[in-house]
Structure 1
Amino acid sequence: MIKDLDLVQTLAELDKKHFLHPTSPIKQQQEQGPAFIFTEGKGVHLYDVMGKSVIDGMSSLWNVNVGHGREEIGKVAMEQMSKLAFTSCFATFSNEPAIRLASKLSQIAPGDLSATFFTSGGSESNDTAYKLARHYWILKGQAGRKKIISRTKSYHGVAIGATSATGLKPFRDFTNSLAPDFCYVENFSAQSLREVIEAEGPETVAAFIAEPVQGAGGVHVAPKDYFKKIRNICDEYGILFITDEVITGFGRTGKYFGIEHYGVAPDMMCFAKGVTSGYAQLGGVMLSERIHQELIEFSEGTLLHGYTYSGHPMACAVALKNLEIIERENLIENAEITGQEMLKGFKWLQSNRKIVGEVRGLGLMGGIEIVKEQKFSTPIAPLIVSEAAKRGLICRSVTFDGQDTLVFAPPLTISKTEIDQMIDILHDSILAFE
């Protein structure tokens, strides 16, 4: 741990001068410097430069599923980098970790998803899905099918296509030139999807994309029969159904993939985050056997889409070890069990704190609505987040679309005792604003 105050101040000043932070208030960064400078992680805890410990109630960015400080993952990364750090997968070049990971994913994925196109992260995965869906329809002689339909309160990333698909308007307002041919429907209304398809013309729609649980938009859990209705509508109109499992994949919801809760399978599936638990940058898009075979049948020439790090051998080796840990330690089952404990704690807060409104969750994804009191003219959730951080818990707030919500996604390794600690800190942090 760094405990030299002069050094800490030096780091803070260098941060303000040279580091433009993602999804952060620019002025706040300049005025206050970094909220934390982390140096170490172990289990569900992070430690900053002064040695302060905090519970990572967000798995950093919904992604450190197996917890921090896994030395065996670091060892695998070192071994692979020492042997073969990188080689391109363009022009049909390949490597063993990428091959083995693609095979493993075909075994655990829902439905008949069987082939994987690798990317470096979630935004790239989503952009890839849109391009592949449109390319598929071009090959099928239906080039007019190019529109992508997504939902309100959805988040699909910040690349230009992913931004355009995101149903949270502030993200789209960030730029003044969105990609064309994106449409939005009400997040839990199957009828809204049908109406938009009819209004746009089914022959113009390539795909519909949805998160099984909306994460960054406020942890909204779909009604039980919603996705069966969606699957039927997509089949009726011949539209591809894409699930965005970037957050919900790899055990987060108490099943390997979030869509498994709803008894349907997609035509394409985007993933990232939990595939490596954040130990390396990796994502991908999986295709059903039918879509894959049709691409093979109708394609001529080169698939002109690819990223430098598609199929990165070290990242794929890390992913394989990460999946081994998830299965070996029964972390998917633990996510279901401790997720129920977390939701029980949220309901206790709901009963004991007057500004706590609706609470919800699935597995280790949870949300707490805050009911605004008259004495506050701005959302309260961001203030509670700051208070909780002081008391030793990291969580996030969502204030888009008039929401005032706390959201949580701790590592899948979390114990009941650590859940109880989270709830205690939350209680005291909320109490400070009543």
Structure 2
Amino acid sequence: MSTVTNKSLKEELVELDKKHFIHPSTNMKQLEEEGPAFVFTEGEGIYLKTVEGKKLMDTLSSLWNVNIGHGREDIGEVAKEQITKLAFTSTFSGWSHEPVIRLGKEIAKWAPEGMNATFFTSGGSESNDTAFKTVRHYWKVKGQPQKNKIVSRSLSYHGVAMGATSATGIKPFRDFTTSLAPDFLHVESSVEALKELIEKEGADTIAAFISEPIQGSGGVNMPPEGYFQEVRKICDENDILFIADEVICGFGRTGKNFGMEHFGVTPDIITMAKGVTSGYAALGGMILSDKIHNELKEKTNGNFYHGYTYSGHPVAAVVAMKNLEIIKNENLIDNVNKMGEKMLEGFNWIKEQNDDVVTEVRGIGLLGAIKIEAKDGESIGAKVVAEALDRGAICRSIVYEGQDTLAFAPPFIINEEQMDDMINIINESIKAVK
């Protein structure tokens, strides 16, 4: 039997990929010409390995989500056990199963006090669309159906389902389609701008305000000082529900269970995904305050007509339970805070070394960014990314709406030596291309 070399295997997979796989968020023409940049075959810890055997440090936890790192056999073991026991059953029409019940109880322990019930989805986009439908249903059953507008912030990212795309404050995502959902509004990230919008539109027409605690895909942007405390007051004064999109920030990414804890604010609804399973299974959810949950139970006549086939998937649920157990038992949030401080120190050192092009660094927990000034009018972020890949690290360049930002979110398990490697690679990469 002949063996297939890695080179010939890659050539085969590249051609099959180009013919049969439509990639998300990818330049279709470039992909047709060049094929996929990488074909990954393995992951271990903070590293990924390509089909040719190249090892790369995953400094963004893939899509901000592989928080406990790659290749955890203990996750695989619980998934295998559940698959052989009960791979799937519906949760429609009042059916249930033990994994989802146990997971709901566990998430309540992580959530702020007074938030005890979760509706499960397959990911962040579904979670946010669920929240938008739920808040509109909530006001409808309370006799205020005109309260249907959703307000989000400029440069926010909330996903790519129809409602989630419409809420997203990054223009290219909205420009992609000609069929945005109605009644979604975007506002600059200031208290004054929000007040002006509410006055203009009328509080009696606004169902909810949604925001990430720290904007992720929009550039790892921190909120203005005191912003969320004021937003919470404004929402309360105007009978507007506050949705926290914790898809990236939730379950320890910022050094706390949820990102809004940094600001002393409790939302009415939390949407989550990514870190709940660390990417080992597709799972998301909407966590409701007890107040909203109780009112919905009291006032909804008939079915809650919303649900996905995989709402509360049993295998995803046991994976989430094991993932959250690992984060707790291995004290990974403590490591997030420790390594987060080291990462920010490293970013500041990079800024000192490259003060001609690095204009700002920012970070909270293991979520950070380096802002780069265009050199001679040319963005160099993409060149830094390419150089870093050659040196063994994956990072991401964010260039939406004029910014040039490198984003980082390494796995929670990263150690000091690995963090030093990451900082040195990024520093050398910037120096090489500037």
Band of TM-score, shorter chain? over 0.9
Name the counterpart of 1:426: 426
Name the counterpart of 1:294: 295
Within the candidate set 166, 169, 186, 1:167 is matched to 169
Give secondary structure in 1 for the equivalent of 2:145.
Answer: coil
Q: Distance in 1 between matches of 2:312 and 2:6?
A: 41
Equivalent pair of 1:2/1:51 in contact (CA under 8 Å): no
Deviations 1:28-58 (A, max 9, x none): 2111111111111111000111111110001
Moved more, 75-84 or 107-116: 107-116
**Mapped pair 1:272 → 2:273:** yes
Deviations 1:332-364 (A, max 9, x none): 111111011111111001000121111001111
Compute the displacement of 1:154 (Å).
0.2
Structure 1 residues 17, 325: closer, same or farther in 2, change over 3 A?
A: same
Q: Distance in 1 between matches of 2:310 and 2:14?
A: 32
Compute the displacement of 1:387 (Å).
1.3
Deviations 1:367-426 (A, max 9, x none): 11111111x53x211121111112111111111111011001110111111111011111
Q: Distance in 2 between matches of 1:58 and 1:45?
A: 11
Name the counterpart of 1:311: 312
| Amino-acid identity (%) | 58
Give secondary structure in 1 for the equivalent of 2:389.
Answer: helix
1:416 counterpart letter in structure 2: E
Compute the displacement of 1:2 (Å).
7.8
Compute the displacement of 1:4 (Å).
2.8
Name the counterpart of 1:395: 395
Give secondary structure in 2 for the equivalent of 1:107.
Answer: helix
Aligned pairs (5 A) from 1:248-397: 248-353=249-354, 354-374=356-376, 377=378, 379-397=379-397
**Mapped pair 1:18 → 2:20:** yes
**Mapped pair 1:237 → 2:241:** no
Give secondary structure in 1 for the equivalent of 2:204.
Answer: helix
2:425 counterpart letter in structure 1: I
Structure 1 residues 3, 59: closer, same or farther in 2, change over 3 A?
A: farther
Q: Distance in 1 between matches of 2:273 and 2:169?
A: 20
Moved more, 95-104 or 8-17: 8-17
Name the counterpart of 1:145: 147
Give secondary structure in 2 for the equivalent of 1:114.
Answer: strand
Name the counterpart of 1:64: 66
Name the counterpart of 1:33: 35
Q: Distance in 2 between matches of 1:267 and 1:59?
A: 28
Equivalent pair of 1:224/1:262 in contact (CA under 8 Å): no
1:114 counterpart letter in structure 2: N
Name the counterpart of 2:91: 89
**Mapped pair 1:411 → 2:418:** no
Name the counterpart of 1:213: 214
1:65 counterpart letter in structure 2: N
RMSD: 1.1
Equivalent pair of 1:144/1:203 in contact (CA under 8 Å): yes
Stretches of structure 2 lacking an aligned partner (at least 5 in a row): none
Q: Distance in 2 between matches of 1:251 and 1:2?
A: 42
1:54 counterpart letter in structure 2: L
Q: Distance in 1 between matches of 2:293 and 2:130?
A: 14
1:194 counterpart letter in structure 2: K
1:403 counterpart letter in structure 2: Q
Compute the displacement of 1:111 (Å).
3.4
Compute the displacement of 1:241 (Å).
0.3
Name the counterpart of 1:193: 194
Compute the displacement of 1:122 (Å).
0.3
Equivalent pair of 1:210/1:243 in contact (CA under 8 Å): yes
Compute the displacement of 1:3 (Å).
4.6
2:117 counterpart letter in structure 1: A
Aligned pairs (5 A) from 1:168-183: 168-183=170-185
2:323 counterpart letter in structure 1: N
Q: Distance in 2 between matches of 1:412 and 1:3?
A: 35
Q: Distance in 1 between matches of 2:98 and 2:191?
A: 42
Q: Distance in 2 between matches of 1:267 and 1:312?
A: 25
TM-score normalized by the length of structure 2: 0.98
Equivalent pair of 1:3/1:49 in contact (CA under 8 Å): no
Within the candidate set 5, 9, 14, 1:7 is matched to 9
Q: Distance in 1 between matches of 2:53 and 2:146?
A: 58
Structure 1 residues 2, 233: closer, same or farther in 2, change over 3 A?
A: farther
Q: Distance in 1 between matches of 2:399 and 2:92?
A: 42
Within the candidate set 157, 161, 170, 2:159 is matched to 157
Compute the displacement of 1:149 (Å).
0.2
Q: Distance in 2 between matches of 1:240 and 1:218?
A: 25
Compute the displacement of 1:223 (Å).
3.0
Give secondary structure in 2 for the equivalent of 1:366.
Answer: strand
Moved more, 347-356 or 267-276: 347-356
Q: Distance in 2 between matches of 1:6 and 1:255?
A: 46
Give secondary structure in 1 for the equivalent of 2:433.
Answer: coil
Q: Distance in 1 between matches of 2:267 and 2:311?
A: 22
Compute the displacement of 1:221 (Å).
1.2
Q: Distance in 2 between matches of 1:2 and 1:415?
A: 36
**Mapped pair 1:55 → 2:75:** no
Compute the displacement of 1:20 (Å).
1.1
Stretches of structure 1 lacking an aligned partner (at least 5 in a row): none
Give secondary structure in 2 for the equivalent of 1:79.
Answer: helix
Q: Distance in 1 between matches of 2:402 and 2:263?
A: 28
TM-score normalized by the length of structure 1: 0.98
Q: Distance in 2 between matches of 1:2 and 1:84?
A: 37
Q: Distance in 1 between matches of 2:182 and 2:386?
A: 38
Structure 1 residues 237, 107: closer, same or farther in 2, change over 3 A?
A: same
